């Protein structure tokens, strides 16, 4: 066997450096949106909805409520539960509300980029919460700036509000149609006016958006897990290219995009991003991940004593793999769920503290055993370098890594945060080189064909797999990668929690 690099070769300092290198002014973020129309406790319900969508973004969150005349907004850095207390929710008065959770790369994790974004237009207040990335936002922004527009954030979503405010149409829904007709890329949007809640999805349908009912109220949410929490019924998905306008207890469905385009639902929502208890396009995420695990086992079987998931991202695929192969499933790797991004490190006395603070291996289960370690994806490879090393230190005799998606070779341009192409380990390393780097005895990725076949038989909708295939359905404005936005940087303090 060729010489193996030390399984713990990447130091915590190196990890920090890699993380810092990701800091760049680019429009890349992951988000969740929620909206409710016609409920006496709109802000409280919206809070619960955002709470259920927290996995879609942990850096900032916000909510806007409408009392039929004016909008009241609250945005903050941090988690939903730390941001909204009884006092704040009490101030967010009104029967309609929208909310947003956001994660962005560190350079842009600023309060001014938190959503919803609000504006007073000549047609009244308008607030918008957006999930997805617009690939021509930089060009539109430059054009608008050239005509005197002043932007308050570096978020791509703000261009929508500017376009809407400048539209010459009379009614707000027509103004919104004007705006979304100009942008390209991915959007699932909830928009609040003084009296209406509007939901819209781009014609390709990259990002999810579900419609539910809570009594007589209408609810829009990125994922159905939010409907479950508030006890709302799932009615249907907002269709790709559809716009729903909810006003005075009635819903109107519009089809503002004249051109039919192929559907491209993001397959990574199924693989990693969405919560397993959500249904996307009517299909359960957990069931899909298990099916990926089964396909993976058929493609890359191996003799082993146990299948161990990387918690929590590898759980369902590992279970599918174990069932398919008839190998016991063991959570022999335990995860601390309370780890935050930063923690106070002790002096050098504890080796590999960074790994151990998040995961710990159960030695008595692993000693002398042959392990299949399953995760959903490899991005930079740093997680697996550490975990494979930890399993070996715990005594595992063999570690066979199985990944329930193909090698990630390109970044996502439509709303999943991925590092630059150069940072993706699969971009310039073969499968065997990656195996060497992570220190595994064998490594198997789900094939692109296997993924496509599983998707075709399970969800029956066109998918986007650009990050695995390098086949991007909507061409990307090259400036989106490095927009070089001219910014002024101000100190923005996080408000004290209540
Ligand atoms: P890495 O250590 O860089 O290879 O990252 C792989 C790990 O990150 C896996 O456990 C994935 O579940 C997880 N992951 C994959 N994509 C993302 C993403 N967009 N944001 C956060 N975590 C991710």
- pLDDT of amino acid 115: 94
- Does the pLDDT of residue 21 top 50, yes or no? no
Check if 10 has its Cβ closer than 6 Å to any atom of ligand 1.
no
Assigned domain for 493 exists: no
332-368 residues labelled b (16+ CB within 10 A) or e (exposed): bbeeeeeeeeeeeeeeeeeeeebbeebbebeeebbee
Give the span between the Cα atoms of 74 and 115, in whole angstroms. Answer: 9
Residue pair 353/327 in contact by the 8 Å Cβ criterion: no
Going by the DSSP 8-state scheme, the letter that residue 440 receives in this structure is: -
Backbone angles phi, psi at 28, to 5 degrees: -135, 115
- Does the pLDDT of residue 315 top 90, yes or no? yes
- Does the pLDDT of residue 448 top 80, yes or no? yes
**Pairing verdict, β 243-247 and 196-201:** antiparallel
- pLDDT of amino acid 417: 85
- Does the pLDDT of residue 11 top 50, yes or no? no
Choosing from 18, 30, 272 the residue with most ligand 1 atoms within 8 A of its CB, the one to mutate for a pocket test is 272
Are 49 and 163 within one domain?
Answer: yes
Long-range contacts for 331-339 (Cβ within 8 Å, ≥24 apart)?
332/306, 332/308, 332/361, 332/362, 332/365, 332/366, 332/371, 333/308, 333/309, 333/359, 333/360, 333/361, 333/362, 333/373, 333/387, 333/390, 333/391, 334/359, 334/360, 334/361, 334/362, 335/311, 335/359, 336/360
Number of domains in the chain: 2
- Does the pLDDT of residue 270 top 60, yes or no? yes
Residue pair 336/271 in contact by the 8 Å Cβ criterion: no
Measured in angstroms, how far is the CA atom of residue 367 from the centroid of ligand 1? Answer: 27
Measured in angstroms, how far is the CA atom of residue 32 from the centroid of ligand 1? Answer: 18
- pLDDT of amino acid 23: 34
Are 329 and 410 within one domain?
Answer: yes
Are 326 and 239 within one domain?
Answer: no
- Does the pLDDT of residue 348 top 80, yes or no? no
- Does the pLDDT of residue 223 top 50, yes or no? yes
Assigned domain for 35 exists: yes
> What average pLDDT does the chain have?
88
- Does the pLDDT of residue 444 top 50, yes or no? yes
End-to-end C-alpha distance for the chain, whole angstroms: 58
Are 84 and 31 within one domain?
Answer: yes
Are 168 and 316 within one domain?
Answer: no
Bigger pLDDT: 332 or 109?
Answer: 332
- Of 74-83, 308-317, 424-433, 489-498, the poorest mean pLDDT is in 489-498
- Does the pLDDT of residue 236 top 60, yes or no? yes
- 351: confidence class by pLDDT, cuts 50, 70, 90: low
Check if 321 has its Cβ closer than 6 Å to any atom of ligand 1.
no
- Of 108-122, 346-360, 459-473, the poorest mean pLDDT is in 346-360
- 9: confidence class by pLDDT, cuts 50, 70, 90: very low
Q: What is the pLDDT of residues 166-193, one digit of tens each?
A: 999 999 999 999 999 999 999 999 999 9
Choosing from 56, 383, 387 the residue with most ligand 1 atoms within 8 A of its CB, the one to mutate for a pocket test is 383
Are 183 and 40 within one domain?
Answer: yes
- pLDDT of amino acid 339: 78
- The CATH number for 164's domain is 3.60.20.10
- pLDDT of amino acid 95: 98
- Does the pLDDT of residue 81 top 80, yes or no? yes
Residue pair 135/477 in contact by the 8 Å Cβ criterion: yes
Measured in angstroms, how far is the CA atom of residue 396 from the centroid of ligand 1? Answer: 24
Are 243 and 190 within one domain?
Answer: yes
- pLDDT of amino acid 322: 98
- pLDDT of amino acid 135: 92
- Element holding 164 (H helix, E strand): helix 158-166
Assigned domain for 274 exists: no
Give the span between the Cα atoms of 24 and 337, in whole angstroms. Answer: 29
Are 78 and 213 within one domain?
Answer: yes
- Of 2-16, 116-130, 149-163, 381-395, the poorest mean pLDDT is in 2-16
- pLDDT of amino acid 495: 47
Give the span between the Cα atoms of 142 and 156, in whole angstroms. Answer: 12
Give the span between the Cα atoms of 50 and 57, in whole angstroms. Answer: 10
Q: Which domain holds residue 332?
A: 284-336+343-460
Which of 233, 264, 295 is the endpoint of a domain?
264
Assigned domain for 19 exists: no
Q: What is the pLDDT of residues 138-168, one digit of tens each?
A: 999 999 999 999 998 888 899 999 999 999 9
- Does the pLDDT of residue 486 top 50, yes or no? no
- pLDDT of amino acid 493: 43
Measured in angstroms, how far is the CA atom of residue 113 from the centroid of ligand 1? Answer: 23
How many Cβ atoms sit within 10 Å of the Cβ of residue 73? 17
- 334: confidence class by pLDDT, cuts 50, 70, 90: very high
- pLDDT of amino acid 153: 86
Assigned domain for 238 exists: yes
Bigger pLDDT: 10 or 153?
Answer: 153
- Of 80-89, 102-111, 335-344, the poorest mean pLDDT is in 102-111
Percent of the chain predicted with pLDDT > 70: 85
Q: What is the pLDDT of residues 43-56, one digit of tens each?
A: 999 999 999 999 99
Active site residues: 31
Are 200 and 147 within one domain?
Answer: yes
- The CATH number for 416's domain is 3.40.50.2020
Bigger pLDDT: 448 or 358?
Answer: 448
Are 203 and 290 within one domain?
Answer: no
Check if 401 has its Cβ closer than 6 Å to any atom of ligand 1.
no
Give the span between the Cα atoms of 240 and 125, in whole angstroms. Answer: 26
Check if 315 has its Cβ closer than 6 Å to any atom of ligand 1.
no
Give the span between the Cα atoms of 247 and 261, in whole angstroms. Answer: 29
Assigned domain for 311 exists: yes
- pLDDT of amino acid 17: 40
Assigned domain for 59 exists: yes
Residue pair 2/437 in contact by the 8 Å Cβ criterion: no
Are 320 and 232 within one domain?
Answer: no
What is the chain's length?
A: 498
Work out the average pLDDT over 388-394: 96
Check if 29 has its Cβ closer than 6 Å to any atom of ligand 1.
no
Sign of the torsion formed by the C-alpha atoms of 384, 390, 396 and 397: positive
- 343: confidence class by pLDDT, cuts 50, 70, 90: low
Q: Is the peptide bond preceding residue 312 cis, with omega within 30 degrees of 0?
A: yes
- Does the pLDDT of residue 195 top 90, yes or no? yes
Assigned domain for 108 exists: yes
Percent of the chain predicted with pLDDT > 90: 77
- pLDDT of amino acid 27: 44
Are 117 and 188 within one domain?
Answer: yes
Long-range contacts for 151-155 (Cβ within 8 Å, ≥24 apart)?
152/112, 152/117, 153/110, 153/112, 153/113, 153/117, 154/25, 154/27, 154/108, 154/110, 154/112, 154/113, 154/485, 154/487, 155/27, 155/29, 155/108, 155/113, 155/115, 155/117, 155/130
């Amino acid at each position: 066997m060729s010489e193996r690099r030390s399984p713990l070769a990447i130091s915590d300092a190196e990890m920090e450096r890699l993380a810092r290198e990701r800091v760049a002014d680019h429009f890349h973020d992951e988000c969740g949106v929620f909206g409710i129309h016609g409920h006496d406790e709109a802000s409280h319900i919206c809070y619960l909805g955002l709470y259920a969508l927290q996995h879609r973004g942990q850096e900032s969150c916000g909510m806007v409520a409408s009392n039929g005349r004016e909008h009241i907004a609250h945005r903050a850095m941090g988690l939903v539960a730390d941001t909204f207390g009884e006092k704040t929710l009490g101030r967010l008065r009104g029967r309609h509300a929208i909310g947003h959770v956001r994660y962005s790369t560190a350079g842009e994790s600023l309060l001014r980029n938190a959503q919803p974004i609000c504006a007073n237009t000549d047609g009244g207040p308008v607030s918008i919460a957006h999930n997805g990335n617009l690939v021509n936002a930089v060009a539109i922004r430059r054009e608008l700036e050239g005509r005197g527009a002043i932007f308050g954030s570096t978020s791509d979503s703000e261009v929508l509000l500017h376009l809407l405010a400048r539209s010459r149409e009379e009614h707000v829904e027509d103004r919104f149609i004007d705006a979304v007709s100009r942008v390209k890329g991915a959007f699932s949007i909830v928009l609040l006016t003084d009296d209406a809640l509007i939901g819209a999805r781009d014609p390709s349908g990259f990002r999810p958006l579900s419609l539910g009912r809570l009594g007589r109220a209408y609810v829009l949410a990125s994922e159905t897990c939010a409907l479950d929490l508030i006890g709302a019924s799932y009615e249907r998905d907002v269709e790709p290219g559809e716009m729903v306008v909810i006003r005075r207890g009635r819903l109107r469905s519009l089809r503002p995009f004249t051109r039919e385009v192929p559907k491209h639902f993001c397959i990574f929502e199924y693989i990693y991003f969405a919560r397993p208890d959500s249904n996307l396009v009517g299909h359960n995420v957990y069931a899909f991940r298990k099916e990926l695990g089964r396909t993976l086992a058929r493609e890359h079987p191996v003799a082993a004593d146990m299948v161990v998931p990387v918690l929590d991202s590898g759980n369902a695929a590992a279970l599918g793999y174990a069932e398919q192969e008839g190998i016991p499933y063991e959570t022999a790797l335990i995860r601390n769920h309370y780890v935050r991004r930063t923690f106070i490190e002790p002096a050098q006395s504890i080796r590999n503290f960074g790994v151990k603070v998040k995961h710990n291996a159960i030695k008595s289960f692993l000693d002398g055993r042959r392990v299949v370690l399953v995760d959903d994806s490899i991005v930079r490879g740093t997680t697996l370098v550490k975990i494979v090393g930890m399993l070996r230190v715990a005594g595992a005799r063999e570690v066979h890594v199985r990944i329930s998606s193909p090698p990630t070779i390109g970044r996502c341009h439509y709303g999943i945060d991925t590092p630059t192409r150069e940072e993706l380990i699969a971009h310039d390393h073969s499968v065997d080189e990656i195996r060497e780097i992570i220190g595994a005895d064998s490594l198997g990725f789900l094939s692109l064909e296997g993924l496509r076949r599983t998707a075709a038989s399970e969800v029956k909708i066109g998918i986007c797999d650009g990050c695995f295939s390098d086949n991007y359905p909507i061409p990307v404005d090259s400036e989106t990668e490095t927009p070089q936005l001219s910014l002024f940087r101000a100190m923005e303090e996080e408000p004290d929690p209540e």
